[in-house]
Structure 1
Amino acid sequence: MAAARARASRKHPVAKPSPTPVLESRTAHIPVGPRLEAVLELAYRARRPVLLEGPTGIGKSDIVKKLADRLGIAHVVLDLSLLEPPDLVGLPVIQDGRTRYAVPDILPQDGAGILMLEELNRAERYIQQPALQLLSARRLHGYELPPGWACFAAVNPESEGYHVTPLDKALRARFLSLPVRADRPSWLAWAQVNDVHPGVIAIAQAHERVLDDVPPRTWTYVSHLLKTLRPEEIENVGLLRDALSGYLPTSWLELVVSSRGVWSSRLPFDVRALLADYDRRADLSRAVRGFAEAGQTDRLDEITTRLVRLLEGPEAGVLAGERQITLASFEALLADLPGDQRDKLVEALGRNPTATSLIDVRPEELCERYANSPAQRKLQGWAADPLKQHRVGLSVTALSSHLERQTKLAEVKRSNVVRASLGVLLAELPERWALDLVATCKRLGITPIRPG
């Protein structure tokens, strides 16, 4: 009998239940910068409630305010940890024998805007409940959020030691829940145009992990302290250590103290203005030309050193997107600098892959039928102009990134169209940019076809 059952089971195998699909947990964190701002704008247009979840001090509230300012809408912030239920629900009043609730002044009545609820999961349950009702249903008793408004909230992670009141999972499911993290390029770009102390900026540019254990807000506080130092206090190491120890762990504190020799600037202007306004501000051009005419190479060196650090850094792309770096300003500055200073700036900008949005030539135009194309005419003109070499560099940098991202590299290697276009391009490029492209092709195994 056992043998018969075994034969039967071989003929008619028992079907195994298909495995239960495992849902992938959402662990990706969106950096607090342009990517997050784009998602928040979409949520605002859809009038969907948003939960921004991330550590304190990384800029969650600032990015919402920036979005509201850009859209030209109102921005109202409520710190729930400071509110009592009547502040949201309103006080009960008797009208016509019925209890109604007077609408609090803090809630918007008309127009368009974003209502930002801070400290949602650090508030008490008795304030969380009406806040969640307002967030998810857009109404609270007799009050209804005006059609032009969206409601966002910020929370701290429940798993990172914060004293929080966990949110109900069923309620969480009603929100666009966005885990977020600090973003070094975006914060650096913000710091460059918001008068953050150059000592803090220099450290952030030099150390990729600068925001891992010290949030952006804390670095801003450090900047406030450094900016109030008198010249003689900069050399008082004991004072610096005592003051900064209230904000920074020892490793970062010592970095700040050891770099104090480069804090002070002998320049009468902020070098960052050179990249945004040099072509429109006569005072800047007069100052730079004056340094060159007087042979003050130390000041020109300081300008170049500070600008190179910015132009080769990750914040350059963000600044370019916000028009805090323009080609018109950059090229006007190059015209007033000696050749060696000019070359340093050209190299820094031309090889920065985050800044390629500054040019209007797409990588596809350079590797698909490049010969006799509008793109070829542009590059030929840039290559012939000493003040536009960085545009050639940015084009090559963008092309190299494009080739390295190819998912069908084998097809690219076989494509005579691509190989011939690259051959024509290489023959026309200035040597330093040609060498960059040759290195990329060699690394990827692409053999350009030289024109013949």
Structure 2
Amino acid sequence: MTLEIAADLIGLLADTTTEPRTDLQLEALTLAVAADLPVLLWGEPGIGKTAALTQLAASLDLPLTTVIASVHEPTDFSGLPVIGADPAVHGVPMAPPDWAVRLARTGRGLLFLDELSTAPPAVQAALLRLVLERRVGALTLPPGVRIVAAANPRGSAADGWELSAPLANRFVHLQWTYDHAVVVRGLGGTWPRAALPSLDPGRLTEAVAYARRGVTGLLGGRPKLVHQLPQSEAKRGGAWPSPRTWEMAVRLIAFATASGSSREVLSLLVRGVVGDGPGLELLAALDRMDLPDPEELLADPSGARFPERGDLRQAVLEGIVEAVRRDANRDRWDAAWTLLVAALDGGAPDLLVVPAQELAELRRDDWPMPAGIERLAGAVSVARLAA
């Protein structure tokens, strides 16, 4: 056997294809890259983080530059001082490394910072300007360069360190796991294909307004969520809320809205910048923004459309009852009963028990029972028995 034949065999093994495939974490990664936000992939060794980045760069036609953070010195990111002819006049410039010069010369590319959790604190400190400001020494990376990093949890990283809070707060954190079906099909020669999200030009202004309204609406009522530095060192190395990460959340919501991304992808992204608890509160706030206005429903009960999800449907019903309570009259009370009856179609009867009871308590003595309430009364009785 000659090495030339061995090379031919290796080439055949490397000859793979791609196919469109729904992959939530890959879609979330691609959307964050499109939004020009630094992404940090967390996952155990050997599950394909590096392979995913290599395939992503190939799919997006971006040159891939890999830098192993743990084997570099702080000056490799902050720049190496170079003394010129007259330092007193010209100062001492900080020379960037060759990989940064190549990226700047190309004007575009995917910078992959691998093994980030094995980088010592001094190197992590030097990475701060690179990740946030795209500065490497005296050089500023062009807008066409995107930054993605990967890290192993401290328990499975070789000589691992916890990520510093300032560095962690600059990333979109995505938990990277493997999909059994994707791995099996990929080993057979076909991997999922990444593609940049398709943004609707007609929805850009609407998407920005929606994102800002959702975040400011939540923080206006929950001021303590604006900045919450975790108590433990381990949690400080992940996603947590700060004015910086809320600004990142606004950008991600706008991109997800303009591209029509699913709620699951949006959930991965917002929890990846502000943390699980605040992220879930933000998602709930966005859901409430999409609910129909109770006053519009009371004005035209015949045209009512209720959400499919049970929690959102219940929120709409509670809003209808509360609107009648604020301004109770016979017509609004009758309209509310019509809406409750309409909510029986495609919804669980148990969701109507509490709203029906509260609406009944608002009845005045001279108001007759509305038409159609017999159907509602039967459904509520059955729901009570089932409970």
Fold agreement, TM-score > 0.5 = no
Q: Give the TM-score of the pair, scaled to structure 1.
A: 0.35
Q: Which has the larger radius of gyration?
A: 1
- Give the TM-score normalised by structure 2: 0.41
Higher RCO structure (Cα 8 Å, ≥6 apart): 2
